[in-house]
Structure 1
């Protein structure tokens, strides 16, 4: 090594030692703050421009963003088949879940129609279909039966016998259900406006899948009484699912055998055809609409064979045609259902967002949680 050379791998840094004042002066530290004041934030939020107005409009009405880009050639056939399948499913499901809410089946059909149209305009999930759901129907049914029990509508006939005024009871239960759902919708809109959807961040994938599985268990449990033709009591609380199963098991000796036979035959046909649709979905032009076929065949057989009169099989009954004119709910009932409405709002949102997140994770897109919360009402 020659004189004056530094050893390889060794470095020497020479810089002056700075105290705090010198460092502030060198860094040109100021006393200003980069964070905007509250007034500036308010002015920025109220500032209007064409790009900002377009952004706000598309965030509140997502259909305006994706519909102009919709590819009819690529998606129309698949979406048409999917829409027909979901629509066919909504028919029996809506009527069945209306019975869980202690309402007439036609109101389940109404619930299967309007929410789908609204979510088409304001929703962000590509796969969920808003409508009736077993858990929410059970919650609403517990409220309608609590506030409008059969004992409140007993009338005495001229011969001394007593019976329940079904028409008056059902009409009042509809008023209760309308007040409950409108109030639940207002809660959901309010929570969506205040950005309550941030809680979705803490919903992990195992939690969402577990919630979906638990919901499926509630659906199965809610249909057991119709499968066996028994009438268990309605339970509420943490162990209501277990209590219901236990009571249904205790009522098995009272099983209406014809109803059980009809249920088992229908289930067998549905499962077999579903498997056929899955195995040959590449060869079939469209899936076999077995749900609609089963409903039509069962309706014809029940009507012309007189199964309801001969074997005491429960039937849905008359379904009125047309749509009723909308009207405002009875606001005097809000105070009686406010607690239940908040619970329904949270559960309904949890069901929708859990299903939406499940499909979004599977197909690789995002769901706006706040938009979903404000629009599933």
Structure 2
């Protein structure tokens, strides 16, 4: 066989085989030998480089509507039409109200809403989400405009907002196109809930002065300052309070009444839902009428008896390419991170939530493409940053939306409002718009019941939640976002770094019906057919197992350790330090009096005082260190740092157990690259003396070398029919003779335990024509298919060498 490229590289650099052991698999099916091949660097690149099929799939994924638009039908059309028009009645007043939050004229809210609804459907993977103006993003845009204009008063408010939308859209579109949507998973639910709650409190408190007609309050200050200034200004309340408070009361009353009637009359639940949904439009129409009656002779908004919206120009008066220059980029640069985070948080969190509720899965990367494209093109029609809206998405979902195409019908409603209803908008009371905003953001506040659930799951995250809310209240929303994201990231890193594995012991369990245990403290007689098996639980019962159960170490000097949450450069030292200290406390050196002279002892092991015995009876009674079994079922990847730490620990234990060597067994290794890392570090192989370091014990023709049976590690095998491997269904670890072993004849002791394969037509227990083949490669006998096999193999070798 031709020399492989890795071996040629080894020879080129003078690397000996025993420094980098490899076995070239060349076994043929049916020859009884299975040699497991290492994954190669070429395979790595083949797995990660795009193929022609993946490129075609990527292109198709950019336009998801192609997968469902050809199946569009009248039923879907009716559902989309109803949902789209319903949302349209909500988005028109909300859009204008949120534009005022952004320090922009009300028409900009309609521009932004139109673009979001008109464009999103083509890129959507969510049928429920609605893209447009939202309260939180509008508030941030308003603060950005105020800050920038303080430094650059020559920059127009709409130019700042449109420039911010354009840059944010370009960034989000890029992230989506490279399919990095997974970054949204780094923002946990706690941070989202804290941000939403803090922002809702900030927005609601900022709208109260306008609701009450109180002047002189800086609504862009910290929330607590706004509340204090509002309380101080209560004596100056004007007539606006009548238009605001009554509107706010009416909104909440209608919602409560519709919910009450829906519960009382479930058959009419849909009717009451639509009435509740239309409450915003109904209240706006009612208060426009009241305002018209009070101000019908007024020609200027400033002469009205209470503050009204004023002139709203019809059509797209601000369409055109936004002006972006270096000065504008420098001015908005500090606010880009928080703006991008908010756009991502609101949209992805809402779309994922409604996807789970309505039984479909969104593609976060594609959703970033959608909002990126919307914000990239929106500024050309006058739009400012837009993202998903919680309230309108909930309405759209409950209204029976069938496809993302419903957004087109909402866009038509917004378009009609822009061209046909702008003269009516002149009379909208500003206090009523403030009531609408307070009513909308109230749903963003996390209810106490939800916070209590967080507390039951993770108390430390509730502390982060309140820290973010308080920081938002006493400083600003941006600081609250940064704190919660940074704190949860730090918590994640801390948990990874301080993750603690467990030493396991062995117990025998029986599978019985729960009713068997109803005898309480009385003795229980197990059914005759109760099956038993050996399982592994924490020696110290830290996994919640019953402390009445006696958990024994599998064998003196054999230690079983389970990694609980990965093994990497962050936590490798913590894991291995704990493993070392524990094993040293439970074992002794092979040579107790190894240091004959006092000066030969290391400084960190000075031994007993002068005149005392060299070692105690308790120490002499401890077992020798024989083997370490590592359960890597929770480990997906091993990096260079953790692999080197494991090598150092192996060498340390070998010095501790000298002249013996410590065996290392591995169970649950499911990643081939993890196996390769361990093999490259000298683990998993046998050197012919029972120690799993160095080369595999195979001759040139790959026949298994003769070894002492007591040093031959057990491997799991399976019975196959007609040369086709079947799935393993059970593993016998009892060490007793089984029906399977009888079926395969005089199998060697080293080829046990046997895992048999169940087929639909043949029972392996009764079959005599099957072949016994290894589950994993025989060239890596110290990688085991499960923990039971690994422990049994370690015990077998330890007892044989005792």
- The reply to whether TM is greater than 0.5 is yes
Are 1:233 and 1:244, in contact at CA under 8 Å, matched by a contact in 2? yes
Are 1:353 and 1:369, in contact at CA under 8 Å, matched by a contact in 2? yes
Following TM superposition, by how much is the alpha carbon of 1:108 offset from its aligned partner in structure 2, in angstroms? 0.8
Equivalent residue for 2:130? 129
Relative to structure 1, the CA distance from residue 321 to residue 272 in structure 2 (aligned partners, 3 Å threshold; closer, same or farther) is same
Say if 2:178 is the partner of 1:189: no
Relative to structure 1, the CA distance from residue 41 to residue 22 in structure 2 (aligned partners, 3 Å threshold; closer, same or farther) is closer
Relative to structure 1, the CA distance from residue 285 to residue 63 in structure 2 (aligned partners, 3 Å threshold; closer, same or farther) is farther
Matches of 2:73 and 2:257, distance apart in 1: 30
Say if 2:112 is the partner of 1:111: yes
Name which of structure 1's ranges 282-291 and 137-146 shifts more when overlaid on structure 2.
Answer: 282-291
1:172-223 residue CA offsets vs partner (Å, 9 max, x unmatched): 1111111111111112122223444213334555655555444443443343
Name which of structure 1's ranges 261-270 and 308-317 shifts more when overlaid on structure 2.
Answer: 308-317
Equivalent residue for 1:177? 161
| Structure 1 residue corresponding to 2:241, chosen from 226, 248, 260 | 260
Relative to structure 1, the CA distance from residue 246 to residue 21 in structure 2 (aligned partners, 3 Å threshold; closer, same or farther) is closer
1:292-311 to 2 correspondence within 5 Å? 292-306=281-295
Equivalent residue for 1:282? 269
1:303-362 residue CA offsets vs partner (Å, 9 max, x unmatched): 232286777411111111112333233333112112212321111111111111221222
Matches of 1:22 and 1:89, distance apart in 2: 69
Following TM superposition, by how much is the alpha carbon of 1:142 offset from its aligned partner in structure 2, in angstroms? 1.1
> How many aligned positions are there?
331
Please give the root-mean-square deviation of Cα atoms over the aligned residues, in Å.
3.3
**Greater helix fraction, Structure 1 or Structure 2:** 1
TM-score (norm 2): 0.38
Are 1:212 and 1:354, in contact at CA under 8 Å, matched by a contact in 2? no
Are 2:211 and 2:241, in contact at CA under 8 Å, matched by a contact in 1? yes
Are 1:235 and 1:243, in contact at CA under 8 Å, matched by a contact in 2? no
Following TM superposition, by how much is the alpha carbon of 1:106 offset from its aligned partner in structure 2, in angstroms? 0.7
Equivalent residue for 1:245? 227
List gaps (5 residues or longer) in structure 2: 1-20, 27-32, 263-267, 373-802
Say if 2:353 is the partner of 1:369: no
1:232-251 residue CA offsets vs partner (Å, 9 max, x unmatched): 21446xxx333322322222
Relative to structure 1, the CA distance from residue 33 to residue 298 in structure 2 (aligned partners, 3 Å threshold; closer, same or farther) is same
Equivalent residue for 1:56? 58
Equivalent residue for 1:322? 315
Greater RCO structure (CA 8 Å; 6+ sep): 1
TM-score (norm 1): 0.76
Are 2:98 and 2:138, in contact at CA under 8 Å, matched by a contact in 1? yes
Structure whose alpha-carbon radius of gyration is higher? 2
Are 2:295 and 2:305, in contact at CA under 8 Å, matched by a contact in 1? no
Equivalent residue for 2:349? 354
What's the secondary structure of 1:182's corresponding residue?
helix
Relative to structure 1, the CA distance from residue 61 to residue 297 in structure 2 (aligned partners, 3 Å threshold; closer, same or farther) is same
Matches of 1:134 and 1:48, distance apart in 2: 44
Say if 2:203 is the partner of 1:228: no
Matches of 1:286 and 1:272, distance apart in 2: 14
Matches of 1:28 and 1:337, distance apart in 2: 61
1:66-115 residue CA offsets vs partner (Å, 9 max, x unmatched): 33334532x44343332222211111111111111111111111111101
Equivalent residue for 1:7? none
1:1-40 to 2 correspondence within 5 Å? 27-28=34-35, 33=40, 35-36=42-43, 38=45
Following TM superposition, by how much is the alpha carbon of 1:41 offset from its aligned partner in structure 2, in angstroms? 6.5
Are 1:196 and 1:370, in contact at CA under 8 Å, matched by a contact in 2? yes
1:197-212 to 2 correspondence within 5 Å? 197-205=181-189, 208-212=192-196
List gaps (5 residues or longer) in structure 1: 1-19, 153-168
Matches of 1:218 and 1:355, distance apart in 2: 20
